[in-house]
Structure 1
Amino acid sequence: MRHYATGRLLHDPKGGSFWFDAGAVCLDFAHTGGEGRYAVFETLHEPGDLTAWLAQAPPAAVLTAPATARDLSAAKALRQAVWATAHARAAGRALDAGAIAVINRAAAAPPLVPQLTDEGTTSPWAAPVLAEQALSTLAREMIGLLTGPLAGRFRECAGDNCALVFVDSSRPGARRWCAMERCGNRHKLRALRARRAADS
């Protein structure tokens, strides 16, 4: 994965939005929706939504052929596998074999191919740019996280009833919140109210 700043704007179905940086593009992708009670957060309703998400930086993969229904199905399967694996690692649980198989299957496809310009900088991905390649690149990034120096830095947000998961790449490794302006501030407000109640 090329070095872009990570993070996306997440929208709460109840209203409001906030910037959430999961620390890796594959983890940002894992928060595009979900299954069961997380279905209300779904943003990938049709193949065109996947095409649009991939075109944003990162990964800035402007597809040379539109995503298909099959691509969307594969993307949602990979998303769920990344989500489940990240939460398992954050909680110190064994990784699910089925989720690992999905990630490995996606990673087995050819990834996006970076290009170097005459100026020595990267340009848009080498054509063709296909959804399957983008998913492979995301899967490979997840494998790199799980096996690299940040393997022990997967965290679930410490906020009450917040299921967002991220990899903490900060130097001290002390990140606790999905976003300071969301769960961090809520925690501060509750702590302040508790102190005032104790002092009264």
Structure 2
Amino acid sequence: MRVASGMELTPRDGQTFRFDAGTLCLEFLLSGALAEWEQLHTPQDLAAWIPRTRLEVRGEVRVEPADLERARRLRAAIQAMAERAASATAPVVQAAEAKTLTEFAAAPPPVPVLGPAADRGWAYPMTAAQYLSAVARDAMEVFTGPLVERVRMCGGERCLLLFLDTSRPGSRRWCSMDRCGNRQKLRTRRDRNPA
């Protein structure tokens, strides 16, 4: 159950980079919170998504057909809260989203297990409902406490990636220094030294 250091993303320009959303609920937005980036078209897509996440699921995942629409509903609630948090719009959590988070968090979360060599993992099979419960519980933690002030949108031009700033000083501005951060440095250098 070691926390992964992010996901590898490949946008339309083909430049692959590593993005760490900082938390499970914001990482879930990468599954297609924006319609043009939708990755969850079938229950099998959701089953394939879950092992990619920071939970590091290594065993069987069971997804029911109804789980797909449920996942999209939870993701939409998280997207709305994250956008309000990133823009400091209050209240971050509105009544409909509170109801959604509560509904999903009520399901049992994934069950952790400890192996004979003190290796940590999960009890399998894991269900989509368990995964969504973990996501909802994480969202409750992020959006109702002091972490909400660290939800950010990348400062890059036309970049809409949302993340939790887990840096010690709380000064992270970019989705990735290898992508938007580097592009901004190049722009700044060009503006200082015009040809």
Q: Which amino acid aligns with 1:176?
A: R
TM-superposition CA deviations, 1:97-137 (whole Å, max 9, x none): 222322221111111111122333313x2244211011001
Name the CA distance, whole Å, in 1 between partners of 2:61 and 2:168: 40
Q: Matches of residues 158-197 of structure 1 in structure 2 within 5 Å?
A: 158-197=155-194
Over the aligned positions, Cα root-mean-square deviation in angstroms equals 2.0
Alignment partner for residue 46 of structure 1, among 42, 49, 60? Answer: 42
Q: Which runs of 4+ in 1 moved over 4 A?
A: 62-65
SS in structure 1 at match of 2:123: coil
Q: Any idea what SS the aligned residue of 2:152 has?
A: strand
2:95 to 97, 100, 113: 97
Mapped contact 1:106–1:136 kept (Cα < 8 A): yes
- Paired residues of 1:33 and 1:40 also in contact (CA < 8 A): yes
Secondary structure of residue in 2 paired with 1:9: strand
Task: Give the whole-Å Cα distance in 1 for the aligned partners of 2:86 and 2:96.
Answer: 18
8 Å contact kept, 2:2–2:56: no
Deviations 1:119-158 (A, max 9, x none): 33313x2244211011001110111122344232111111
- Which deviates more from structure 2 when the two are superposed, residues 170-179 or residues 95-104? 95-104
Residue 156 in structure 1 maps to residue 153 in structure 2: yes
Once residues 172 and 47 of structure 1 are traced to their aligned partners in structure 2, the CA distance between those partners, rounded to angstroms, is 40
Cα distance change of structure 1 residues 177 and 151 upon mapping to structure 2, 3 Å threshold? same
Distance 2:58 2:103 in 1: 23
Query: AA paired with 2:23?
Result: A
In the alignment, what sits opposite 1:18? 17
Separation in 2 of the partners of 1:62 and 1:133? 15
Aligned position for 1:59: 55
Give per-residue Cα distances to partners, 1:170-195, cap 9 Å, x unaligned.
11111000111111111111111111
Q: Identify which of 105, 108, 117 aligns with 1:107.
A: 105
| Aligned residues of 1:51 and 1:62 also touching (Cα < 8 A) | no
Q: Distance in 1 between matches of 2:48 and 2:65?
A: 14
Please list the CA deviations of residues 42-71 of structure 1 after superposition, one character each: whole Å capped at 9, or x if unmatched.
111211111011123522335646312211
The answer on whether the counterparts of 2:47 and 2:63 sit within 8 Å (CA) in structure 1 is yes
Alpha-carbon distance in structure 2 between the residues aligned to 1:9 and 1:133: 24
In structure 2, runs of 5+ residues without a counterpart are none
May I ask how many residue pairs the two structures share in their alignment?
193
Identity %: 41
Letter in 2 for 1:143: M
Q: TM-score, normalised by structure 1?
A: 0.87
Instruction: Give SS of 1:166's match.
Output: strand
Q: In structure 2, what residue type is equivalent to 1:33?
A: G
What are structure 1's unaligned runs of at least 5 residues? Answer: none
1:82 aligns with 2:78: yes
Contact map agreement 2:62 2:126 (CA 8 A) in 1: no
* Residue aligning to 1:7: 6
Three-state SS of the structure 1 residue aligned to 2:18 is strand
